[in-house]
Amino acid sequence: MGAFWIILTGALVAGSCGLLGSFLVLRRLAMVGDAISHAILPGIVIAFLVTHSRESLPMFVGAAALGLLTTFLIQSLSQGGVQGDAAIGVTFTSLFAVGVVLVSAFCRDTDLDLECVLYGDITMTPFDTVRLGGLAVPRAALTNGALLLLNLLVVSLFYKQLKICAFDPVMAEAVGIPVAGMHYLLMGLVSVTTVGAFESVGAILVVAMIIVPGATAYLLTDRLERMLGLAVLTGILSSLLGYFLARWVNGSIAGAMATVSGVLFAAAFLFSPRHGLVSRMVAQRRLRRRVAEEDALLWAGRRLETGVPAGFTLRELSRGLERLPVDAEAAAARLARCGLLRAEGGAYALTDTGQTESRELLRRHRLYETYLDELGYPVDHLHQAADRVEHHLSPALAVAMDQATRHPERDPQGKLIPPPGA
């Protein structure tokens, strides 16, 4: 049962932090969570000095007050001309240093040290319980569950406002949304969530879950609602897998959960469908191959227009494309496998399908030249401009350009524009 409560508490923290962290990532304020987790130290010490008690409530109030003060100072410094990252760094290091001085000066004879203040132990979660309907429920699970519900409620009520403020604060202010109010609302939630979570699970896990799930989700989707869901899911998965990783290596549970979240981020960074490093490399390789194939079809189609024999050698293709012989050979081989070229005794020629495809590519190229010419583009630069864009022109865009240029029959150089479907 202890394992269940540990995993549940970690999942609640991860879900709550991931939900808010997504907005922080979008607003480039990801390090605010780290700043708050350190800057609340003087609030905890002051609460102890005032109440002479280590009960959770005064500690929570003192820490939350310093968390809100931290966000206010960061915002004030940023608006005063200090760069955002510098404002965060100056604020949290200064407040953390004040906390260290207070601990060392006034808390020497008490069980209040930096380790217990900053690095809570999630393994102790099942032992601090309250009775709820006859069931012993860990206090940390109740606290973080309530914080998750609070965050879900606030984000649901102010979703549109938070969304507009995250993407375009100028527009938000123009339509009457209180941008400053939304900022302090979000920062207040971050402060309360951080304070409520760090005592039970530790600062390392809180900081990781504030930043990493949101950053992971950012790489996986371009829609905010999906990003929020993926951030929560990533955090919960990190909690679950991190617990079993910690059991396997006999290490820190909070550290293992944070490590798994980092591994998931690395996987998204490498293999995200649109933004992943490996995915982009594969897409670029495919684009280079497609460009080489379409250049070959265009070159062969232009040769046919001049009345030269249909067949051509790889040497002629390499020279015409200004590519290495091995690249020209590879492009010709791929086109042959697709049925666009056919081999004829050591040479190649366009098939009927290849000629149709070649004419369509020529049509798009020349339509784009005509379109640029009507826009006043210099005539001697039309071909180079069309060469750069022709591989990205879709059939729908070709139809739109044809209509915009009133269905021309020839391009600005007087060359025939193949009719559609020719």
Secondary structure, 3-state, the chain = CHHHHHHHHHHHHHHHHHHHHHHHHHCCCCCHHHHHHHHCHHHHHHHHHHHCCCCHHHHHHHHHHHHHHHHHHHHHHHHCCCCHHHHHHHHHHHHHHHHHHHHHHHCCCCCCCHHHHHCCCHHHHHHCEEEECCEEEEHHHHHHHHHHHHHHHHHHHCHHHHHHHHHCHHHHHHCCCCHHHHHHHHHHHHHHHHHHHHHHHCHHHHHHHHHHHHHHHHHHCCCHHHHHHHHHHHHHHHHHHHHHHHHHHCCCHHHHHHHHHHHHHHHHHHHCCCCCHHHHHHHHHHHHHHHHHHHHHHHHHHHHHCCCCCCECHHHHHHHHCCCHHHHHHHHHHHHHCCCEEEECCEEEECHHHHHHHHHHHHHHHHHHHHHHHCCCCHHHHHHHHHHHHHHCCHHHHHHHHHHCCCCCECCCCCECCCCCC
Q: Is residue 70 part of a domain?
A: yes
Residues 167 and 213 in one domain: yes
What is the pLDDT, as a whole number, of residue 269? 93
Q: What is the per-residue pLDDT across 175-201, written as a single tens digit (0 to 9) for each?
A: 888 888 888 888 888 888 887 777 677
Q: Is residue 398 part of a domain?
A: no
Query: Which domain does 290 fall in, by range?
Result: 279-350
Q: Is residue 307 part of a domain?
A: yes
CATH number for position 316: 1.10.10
Residues 88 and 215 in one domain: yes
- Domain edge (last residue) among 254, 272, 290: 272
- Domains: count for the chain: 2
Residues 167 and 216 in one domain: yes
Residues 264 and 283 in one domain: no
Per-residue pLDDT of the chain (422 residues; tens, 9 = 90+): 678 888 888 888 888 888 988 998 888 877 777 777 777 778 877 887 787 766 667 777 777 788 788 888 887 887 777 777 788 888 878 888 887 787 777 766 655 545 554 555 677 777 767 777 777 777 778 888 888 999 999 999 999 998 998 888 888 888 888 888 888 888 888 888 887 777 677 777 788 888 899 999 999 998 888 999 999 999 999 989 988 998 899 888 888 888 999 999 999 999 988 888 898 899 899 989 998 898 899 898 888 888 777 788 888 888 888 888 888 889 888 998 989 998 877 788 888 899 899 999 899 888 888 888 888 888 888 878 888 888 888 888 888 888 888 888 888 888 888 888 65
Residues 55 and 148 in one domain: yes
Residues 136 and 166 in one domain: yes
Residues 284 and 150 in one domain: no
Q: Is residue 359 part of a domain?
A: no
Residues 176 and 317 in one domain: no
Residues 336 and 241 in one domain: no
Q: Is residue 294 part of a domain?
A: yes
Residues 138 and 180 in one domain: yes
Q: Is residue 261 part of a domain?
A: yes
Q: Is residue 367 part of a domain?
A: no
CATH number for position 55: 1.10.3470.10
